[in-house]
């Protein structure tokens, strides 16, 4: 199989990207290996381009075809890959699955090329790489904003805004920003995170950009923050999240699937996307839980990452196609 053509000096294409064919050896593909070789030359060219023509990043973002607002009327599938910036690189039992950037980009290219994938959520490094590769044409692109709450750190619940800000999201031609809000009344970091998220909601709303808030009730256990995945805990977190800022006109929620999902979702009228988790759940049970939750009126789609990029059988395309099929039964 011929390698894909390397990037040129202005590597932006107006046509949606089509990922190169991925070799399918006999047997099961391991979750954390097997995709990068098909696009290694193409992805490696990013380093040369960043070194010799850094303004190509600005051009790629400027010239990409934007997401059509009419797309918000349909169920959304947004691929998420902002985990490495928070030091969370484990997936499906592999503690460093997301640590190989070539492999991660290759898997993102496959996922983003599948029919029905509407958007991408990531930090600037990944958004820019994928823009240079032409993979974000026509996509809803959301910039991840607060990645400072590193797992296991003493300051984990002080989720500082170390990623995108509203100014950078607007300058890059992105469609909105996402923020993590973990609420622990016993942790002083929660107050700073609340204030930062409220400010971000306001700054995005001023620019008429989408503010995607991912709220949890959290508690520390053995030195690490753990999210409390119950309906009552999520109702509390949703109420706090949707009250942030001087307007909620542009605010969406990103929430986990929990037991008693309908009662939990009755806590909000905001458009809501479901998150996918870490991939440790049985795939059939996971898809069934998403299918049931997607019947709730406020739920407008899926924002999933590790479960799609590192499925147990290693087949990214099939995992994505199965999830997209839930949105269009």
**pLDDT one-digit tens code per residue, 204-258:** 999 999 999 999 999 998 888 999 999 999 999 999 999 999 999 999 999 999 9
Average pLDDT value for residue range 260-265 = 97
Torsion of CA 107, 108, 111, 112, to 10 degrees: -150
Average pLDDT value for residue range 132-137 = 97
| Residue-level pLDDT at 27 | 35
Average pLDDT, the chain: 89
Q: How far apart are CA 199 and CA 114, in angstroms?
A: 35
Average pLDDT value for residue range 259-281 = 90
- Judged by average pLDDT, the poorest of 27-31, 73-77, 314-318 is 27-31
Q: Is the pLDDT of residue 15 over 60?
A: no
- In order of 9, 45, 48, 128, the CA distances from 52 in angstroms are 9, 11, 6, 15
Tell me the pLDDT tens digit for each residue of 164-177. Answer: 999 999 999 999 99
Average pLDDT value for residue range 29-37 = 63
Please state, for a pLDDT cut of 90, what percent of the chain lies above it. Answer: 76
Q: Is the pLDDT of residue 26 over 80?
A: no
Q: How confident is the model at residue 280 (pLDDT cuts 50, 70, 90)?
A: low
Q: Is the pLDDT of residue 23 over 50?
A: no
- Report the Cα 243 to chain-centroid distance in Å: 23
Q: How far apart are CA 214 and CA 305, in angstroms?
A: 14
Site of tokens 């508690």 = 219
Q: How confident is the model at residue 152 (pLDDT cuts 50, 70, 90)?
A: confident
Q: How far apart are CA 237 and CA 171, in angstroms?
A: 31
Superfamily holding 36-327: Aldolase class I (3.20.20.70)
| Residue-level pLDDT at 3 | 41
| Residue-level pLDDT at 207 | 98
| Residue-level pLDDT at 326 | 97
Average pLDDT value for residue range 292-309 = 96
Q: How far apart are CA 202 and CA 215, in angstroms?
A: 17
Average pLDDT value for residue range 38-53 = 89
| Residue-level pLDDT at 278 | 65
Sign of dihedral through CA atoms 315, 321, 327, 329?
negative
Q: How far apart are CA 261 and CA 264, in angstroms?
A: 5
**Residues 64 and 12: beta-carbon distance below 8 Å:** yes
Q: Is the pLDDT of residue 119 over 60?
A: yes
**Residues 306 and 321: beta-carbon distance below 8 Å:** no
Radius of gyration of the chain (CA): 19
**Residues 269 and 72: beta-carbon distance below 8 Å:** no
Tell me whether strands 140-144 and 176-183 are parallel, antiparallel or unpaired. Answer: parallel
């Amino acid at each position: 199989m011929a390698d894909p053509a390397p990037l040129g000096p202005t590597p932006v294409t107006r046509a949606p990207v089509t990922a190169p064919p991925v070799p399918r050896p006999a047997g099961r593909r391991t979750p954390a290996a097997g995709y990068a070789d098909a696009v290694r030359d193409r992805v490696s060219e990013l380093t040369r381009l960043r070194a010799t023509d850094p303004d190509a990043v600005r051009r790629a973002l400027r010239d990409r075809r934007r997401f059509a607002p009419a797309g918000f009327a349909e169920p959304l599938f947004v691929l998420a890959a902002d985990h490495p910036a928070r030091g969370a690189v484990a997936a499906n039992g592999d503690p460093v699955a997301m640590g190989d950037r070539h492999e991660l980009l290759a898997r993102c290219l496959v996922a983003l090329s599948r029919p029905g994938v509407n958007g991408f959520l990531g930090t600037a490094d990944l958004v820019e790489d994928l823009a240079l590769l032409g993979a974000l044409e026509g996509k809803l692109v959301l910039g991840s904003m607060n990645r400072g709450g590193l797992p296991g750190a003493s300051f984990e619940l002080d989720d500082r805004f170390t990623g995108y800000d509203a100014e950078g999201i607007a300058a890059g031609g992105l469609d909105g920003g996402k923020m993590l809000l973990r609420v622990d009344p016993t942790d002083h970091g929660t107050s700073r995170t609340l204030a930062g998220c409220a400010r971000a909601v306001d700054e995005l709303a001023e620019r008429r950009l989408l503010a995607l808030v991912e709220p949890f009730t959290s508690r520390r256990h053995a030195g690490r923050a753990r999210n409390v995945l119950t309906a009552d805990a999520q109702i509390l977190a949703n109420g706090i999240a949707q009250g942030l800022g001087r307007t909620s006109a542009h605010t969406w929620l990103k929430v986990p699937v929990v037991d008693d999902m309908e009662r939990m979702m009755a806590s909000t009228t905001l458009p809501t996307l479901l998150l996918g988790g870490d991939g440790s759940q049985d795939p059939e049970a996971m898809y069934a839980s998403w299918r049931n939750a997607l019947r709730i009126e406020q739920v407008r789609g899926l924002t999933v990452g590790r479960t799609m990029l590192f499925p147990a059988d290693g087949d990214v395309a099939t995992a994505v196609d199965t999830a997209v099929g839930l949105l269009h039964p």
